[in-house]
A and B are shown apart, each in its own frame.
Chain A
Amino acid sequence: MGAERNAGGWLNFIAGGAAILAIALVLTRTIGNEYFFFAGYVVLQFIVLATAWNILGGYAGYVNFGSGAFFAVGAYTAAALFKAFGAPLLAQLMAAMVVSGFLGFMVGALTLRLRGIFFSIGTVAVAVICETMVVNWSFVGGSRGLTVLHPSASAFFGSYTRLLFVVMTVLAVLAVTIARGIERSWIGRGLQAIRDSEEAAECSGVPTLKLKLTAATVSGALMGLAGAPLPFYINFIEPASAFSLNYAVLALAMPIIGGTASWVGPVIGAVLLGSVQQVVTVTVSSELNVLVVGLLLVAFVVAAPDGILGLARKLFGGTRRR
């Protein structure tokens, strides 16, 4: 547990992250099939979403059912900025992060009064209210949606989808880095204490409110980042699909299936479920794959509460300290 081992761990992690970015860049030059990037973007997006959800849900134990709202708010912030000012992608990302982060902060404030299922219902309430506000906002097209034409293809990447693919890879690495950072720091330990017993944590002097607000804000900001490139990705945005409950279910199912204890779990869940979904949607119906997600969620929640990570640990023996 010495500083050296920590530093060593971080070095490996950063090397890994850089390697992934390099691979992503190489892929954009070598693979010809555009659809690969279309699908790959979705999987990466879910890595960000699942990781973000886990910060509040897995680490702190506050189950957010309204993930769709943060995601959509990020997307709509980006779209609105683009329509109003023609803002570049980077500006959109920054703005989305701030707005969704602020929304996360508000939701974190909810936890003052609401615990357990009440908090979760509260998040659904926030999501519905956000959706209603967007539907009534004619600037972004209300129910009809908004067409967003992304700039024509960039010279280096060949197509904008590839550029977005790389951007999402960066976001995924960023999200996972933040999650790992939180997990290994005093913040993570505090959140764990809150999850185990909030009263006991308060009595021991853990600054529960500060921690919850931090977790909620970070979670919200990351989800907003995941949603920001969406308008450019489909060139179109409308409330029903942006605020879809599917995002909420997947953001919750992926960490639970992968394992909520560490940053690895959501990544496993997102990659596994995301890839299976993309393959199944293309070959079979899209309903069937949602059914599979639901069944897997229930199965894991009942039988393998620590997710795939937990199963792996049981199978291969656990010497690693959590």
Chain B
Amino acid sequence: MSGIQKDVARGIGALAFALAFGAAPALAQTKEPIRIGLSMAQTGPLSGAGKSGLVALQIWRDDVNAGGGLLGRPVELVVYDDQTNPALTPGIYTKLLDVDKVDLLIAPYGTNPTAPVMPLVKQRDLLLMGNFALDANAQIKHDKYFNNQPWSSAKDAVGPFLGLSTKLGAKTIAILAADAEFAQNLAGGVRQGLKEYGLRAVYDQNYPPNTIDFSSMLRAIRAQGPDVVFVASYPSDSAAIIRALREIGVGDSVKLFGGGMVGLQYASHLEALGSMLNGVVNYHVWAPEKTLDFPGMREFVARYQARAKEANVDPLGFYLPPYDYAIGEMLAQAVTATKSLDHKVLAKYFREHELSTIVGSIRFGPTGEWARPRMIYVQFRDIANKNLDQFRSPGKQVIVAPDVFKTGEVVPFNQLRR
């Protein structure tokens, strides 16, 4: 072989080499993507968290695709805005299945938008990854539903709160709940637990979802002089109630206030309400306290916060994002392990295995909920107004229940709020 021929041969060899390796990701691109369909609340009452959850799923998708995809195929998210409106979700999911022909499904964020989808997936016998929906499967008992939410039932969810009331020596309780799925489920859990925790309900009212003024209700509660006030509300109501609390007050008898108020985990609310939150005890799923430092969590939160700034979503990301990222992780684990997209096969995998994610290792119980609940209750302390950064460090959302995660003792509400 002459010199030139050798050069050409080397050149062709190099080219072939480059083509082979350069083309490998290109080959992955030309493969049919795996499509995951979901609706997410990007407008409407739950959009504050919904948008942040979507960013987390997008981070997951990018992570997976950077690593070569699932089963060698790129992952694609097909997302619609359900406006937190349960009337829209059945249509959206029918469209995802029949028109967009997605391979896998993730449920909408929230109990309300998820409830109407359950009959649909049950009748078509499909796998559905639940996304913070409470007791959505209690009636339907679908065997392919797996809900990523750190509490398994309403009773487990409110147990720690009721335990706190016993600790504070409470005898009477006022219950205020929105007339909507999640709030009613929680309130139901409280009503069931009254006897066990030695409490008597002196006020128990539901309010319609579009209520904006809570002065009358707080006045009525105050007139009863309860020891504990349990509120199950949605983001806008929660904000309105906290404001009304500041304006009208709830009386000097109240030792414990809060419980199931959605929205007090969102950065927007924390910033807007500021010192009005002091003393309130409310549920959460994560706080930057040392008892919840799971492997991978802090790193994810940092990455999320970087993206959140540009995307103009919840800047803290303590609530929905880690759990939505975890949904992605679980799907990836199941698909990779079973090498299949068959819903029956994947459901079996979920039932039989423990999954490791950034929110800890997860085991599912028979109805598709977490076998080991982990709802925590935080008390807001020393919150200053209009300062979001204070929430990034420990001490502002002190974990007061359950004992295994506690970072501080609960202080009675009437003590903190003269």
Contact = CB atoms under 8 A, between A and B. Distances in A.
Q: Tell whether any CB of A sits under 8 Å from a CB of B in the complex.
A: yes
Contact of A235 (B97, B116, B139, B206): B116
Contacts of B95: 35, 282
A34 B94 contact: yes
B87 A240 contact: yes
Max chain A Cβ within 10 angstroms of own Cβ: one of B123, B139, B184: B123
Contacts of B86: 145, 236, 238, 241
Contact of A147 (B88, B99, B119, B208): B119
A275 interface: no
Given A236-B90, A240-B87, A282-B99, A144 B180 contact: yes
B179 A236 contact: no
A143 interface: yes
A241 B115 contact: no
B209 interface: yes
A236 B208 CA distance: 19
B87 A238 contact: yes
Given A135-B179, A152-B123, A38 B94 contact: yes
Given A38-B91, A144-B179, A235 B98 contact: no
Contacts of A147: 115-116, 118-119, 139-140
B181 interface: yes
Interface string A76-100: 0000000000000000000000000
Interface string B58-85: 0000000000000000000000000001
A34 B98 contact: yes
A152 B122 CA distance: 11
A77 B99 CA distance: 32
Contacts, number: 69
A305 interface: no
A33 B122 CA distance: 20
Nearest to A161: B94
Interface in A127-156: 135, 142-145, 147-149, 152
A145 B181 CA distance: 8
Contact of B208 (A33, A34, A35, A135): A135
Contacts of A240: 87, 209
Contacts of A234: 87, 90-91, 116
B128 to A, nearest CB: 14
Contacts of B94: 34-35, 38
Interface string B209-233: 1000000000000000000000000
A144 B184 contact: yes
Nearest to B140: A147
B120 interface: yes
A135 B178 CA distance: 12
Interface in B163-193: 178-181, 184
Given A35-B95, A38-B94, A145 B116 contact: yes
A135 B208 CA distance: 8
B194 to A, nearest CB: 19
A142 B181 CA distance: 10
Contacts of B90: 234-236
B142 to A, nearest CB: 11
A35 B85 contact: no
Given A241-B85, A241-B86, A282-B95, A236 B180 contact: no
Contacts of A149: 119, 122-123, 140
B263 to A, nearest CB: 18
Contacts of A35: 94-95, 98-99
Contacts of B98: 33-35, 38
A144 B234 CA distance: 13
Contacts of B139: 147
Max chain A Cβ within 10 angstroms of own Cβ: one of B90, B91, B95, B118: B91
A38 B90 CA distance: 11
B325 to A, nearest CB: 28
Nearest to B120: A235
B99 A143 contact: no
Interface in B86-144: 86-88, 90-91, 94-95, 97-99, 112, 115-116, 118-120, 122-123, 139-140
Contacts of A34: 94, 97-98
Max chain A Cβ within 10 angstroms of own Cβ: one of B85, B115, B122: B115
Contacts of B178: 143
A143 B209 contact: yes
B160 to A, nearest CB: 25
Contacts of B140: 147, 149
B87 A241 contact: yes
Max chain A Cβ within 10 angstroms of own Cβ: one of B87, B120, B178, B181: B87
B180 A143 contact: yes
B179 A235 contact: no
Contacts of B184: 144
| 10 shortest interchain CB distances as A-B pairs | A241-B87, A143-B179, A236-B116, A235-B119, A35-B98, A34-B98, A234-B90, A144-B181, A35-B99, A149-B119
Given A147-B139, A149-B122, A282-B95, 5 more contacts: A33-B99, A142-B206, A143-B208, A144-B181, A235-B90
Interface of B: 85-88, 90-91, 94-95, 97-99, 112, 115-116, 118-120, 122-123, 139-140, 178-181, 184, 206, 208-209
16 contacts: A34-B94, A34-B97, A143-B179, A144-B181, A144-B184, A145-B115, A147-B115, A149-B119, A149-B122, A152-B123, A234-B87, A234-B116, A235-B119, A236-B86, A236-B115, A282-B99
